[in-house]
Structure 1
Amino acid sequence: MKILIINGPNLNLLGEREPEVYGKQTFNDYFTSLQFKLREVELSHFQSNHEGKIIDKLHEARLHFDGVVLNAAAYTHTSVAIADAVKAINIPVVEVHISNTSARENFRKHSYIAPYASGVITGFGMKSYELAVLSFVELPEKND
């Protein structure tokens, strides 16, 4: 099984950006440990601060991956274009957030992506990514 993790804007600063919200670990360090822990899954990751590059990567993913774990970050709450891309591709997408977006500012409570996602996982820190990947492994029929 091949899963692509896509991270949106400002997530390249994990480990230094608002550690009280996002923790002190960099994504690259976390990703290395996730690959080791879930060796049965071929994991790749991509990060961009640019909406169009995220859309292009979603389009590309449909040709090479069994599913996508998407943390669109702030674009979750603003991007109809990314939501349309999720809707358009023929592979399952699980939306993830490190923080509990429902317990934060009001604008973070709405997701344009959620209606087209197979599921949404929020508030478990970096563990949210692992839970999302495990949803593909342990609940494959849910993601079809």
Structure 2
Amino acid sequence: MKKIIIINGPNLNLLGTREPEIYGNLSFTEFLEKLQEKYPKVEIDYYQSNVEGELINKLQEVGFSYDGIILNAAAYTHTSVGIADAVKAIKTPVVEVHISNTFGREAFRHTSYISPNAKGVILGFGLQSYELAVQSFVH
């Protein structure tokens, strides 16, 4: 059985209520339940934090024992050299995910410190971006 963790960064705990025109109306908990039902042979763990250091700690904790990490570092994608270094330092492959198309938003969102160290990047498909990332580890 594959063991994958989804790690979400700041403000993603507000999915379902935060800017529904960008992020949709479904909470991440509701989405995660559906995802786990769809992939019963994959253990999908979940972690969310608004704190940069906690995200780094989690990456280091799981980065040598999981089969895959799906990381949506949210705004830290564009600012955190620390998270980028953590992704580079671990052995577990990381797929960078974004719900929105970051290239269709403000210019500062066009830069990712994580992408150069990620297995791949999926963005702009709403919550479906996470499922595409799961598929990249399963198939």
Fold match by TM threshold 0.5: yes
- 2:65·2:92 contact (CA, 8 Å) conserved in 1? no
Amino acid at match of 1:108: R
Kindly report which structure 2 residues correspond to 1:28-39, keeping only aligned pairs within 5 A, or say none.
28-39=29-40
1:117 equivalent to 2:100? Answer: no
- Residue deviations 1:57-113, cap 9 Å, x none? 000112331110000000000000000000000110000000000110000000000
1:134 equivalent to 2:138? Answer: no
**Where does structure 2 lack aligned partners over 5 or more consecutive residues?**
none
Amino acid at match of 2:82: A
- Is the partner of 1:24 in helix, strand or coil? coil
**How far apart in 2 are the matches of 1:63 and 1:97?**
23
Aligned to 1:15: 16
**Where does structure 1 lack aligned partners over 5 or more consecutive residues?**
139-144
- Is the partner of 2:58 in helix, strand or coil? helix
Q: How many residues get paired?
A: 138
* Deviation, structure 1 residue 45: 0.4
- Percent identity, please: 64
**How far apart in 2 are the matches of 1:113 and 1:62?**
15
Question: TM-score normalized by structure 1?
Answer: 0.95
- Is the partner of 2:64 in helix, strand or coil? helix
Question: TM-score normalized by structure 2?
Answer: 0.98
